[in-house]
Structure 1
Amino acid sequence: MTQPGVLLVTGASKGIGAAVARSAAAAGWAVAVNYAADEAGAARVVAAVEADGGRAVALAGDVSREPDVVRLFDDAEAKLGAPVTALVNNAGIVGRHGRFADLDTEALQRTVDINVTGLMLCAREAVRRMSTRAGGTGGHIVNISSRAAQVGSPGEWVHYAATKGAVDSLTLGLAKEVAGEGIRVNAVAPGLIDTGLHAAAGQPDRLAAKAHEVPLGRAGTPQDCADAVLWLLSDRAAFVIGAVVPVGGGR
């Protein structure tokens, strides 16, 4: 049976990432809580983990920058006492809300930098360290995708949906490539989830307006997503690779 080790969760200062960090710590993982700017939020997550008897450390870093990514893995190992054996690629942004034709190049590039390049850099670093081919002991990668990749998000976030389509493709291909090297790669695709993301994007009423589209009749919670991630990190999903698990209430 796989024993929980060191888990790095990117973008874990709030929302889904924070829920994953707390749930993983409760399951026995030592958790590196990555953040880009929200130092106070990351500190609150670490404090909550420690109050529950778990181990966690907050680590600053921009996942779109390769030196930051390498340092995140190094610091997680140094501060938590063992190499990273699980990665949850959660860091992501939606960018500007609106029609694709109205999107400026800077916003487009930043969304790709974080959601695609950043996720790939983290996944690549994880493989380099975890792969039995390279002397590692194996591990897990869970990418946070989105149901937007399937619905397209027209009139809202087409560019964001496209980046999550890339996440799905990476998950499938990388899972097949490294399955024989002791690494299981999967993804979780949240749907309408009750986080601060919508308000931060200037759409504070979006969840209420869209809830009727969900067959279960409600928005999801960060914990709904965290539960799926923890399943994929567990031995109960030992024969699962390349899956993109929808957590969208049927939407």
Structure 2
Amino acid sequence: EAGIEEKLLNPSLGSFGPVLLGDPSYKYEGEVTNPSEVDKQFKYQKDLTAGEIATFWLVSHNSTGQLTCSGGVPCFRANIMNVCWGNPTSVVTPAVEILFFYDTTRLSVDSSNNYASVRVKRFAHSPTGAGGFQNPAGLNAGCNFTNGDSFKYRSQINVNNDIDAICDDSPLGCPLMVKVRMYYATSAEPQRVGIWTTGPASSLPAQGLNISSTGTAGESSRRVNVFQGYSESPTFFDAAVFSLKDLVK
């Protein structure tokens, strides 16, 4: 836990330690890595129950946490994105709401990080089509990742047609992130979620930090792994409404 705490407070990529704790037989060491960087497939680290949200970043972050696409860092700019969800043998039939955030001005990844022009497109998908959810073609095709992860359903987003043609054709920085909210999944059977991009310029940026720390005390050792995602706005802002001025009776 000491190694995890150290790197959560002062994150930096690479190996750390061994750090001795008085007695030479008491120490901790580990490694910090970026999951999914330049990959095209990424499974969210935690399975979701109803109401929980997974965030997938389509632009990179710099060392201070600001959004950026400068300096050759990976940022998604392609036409096809697959949101993969659902356990292959699930008894529960889940549904998802997909929120695609984008900025046609690209000011969100500029040095000013101006988010005034950010827009969001929502999709609601269910294999049953009940409750106002859509059941688009190809939903039951599922996904099979190269590392062996598999998903029962696939929601395919055509950026050119479903979002904005500018996001497919413009320089990097128009697609920002995708949030996936799970419905109907129970605590007894949480559902997995992942993302799979295809085509040129479709590599995913880092999705956060994986921190692995091993502590040793004499002949005993224990390893702890923690995933730390990037900072984002609270989820209730996704459904908030703000007035342009103060309200009076």
Q: TM-score range by the shorter chain?
A: under 0.3
Q: Which has the larger radius of gyration?
A: 2
Write 1 or 2 for the structure with the bigger share of helix: 1
Structure 2-normalised TM-score?
A: 0.27
Structure 1-normalised TM-score?
A: 0.26
Write 1 or 2 for the structure with the bigger share of strand: 2
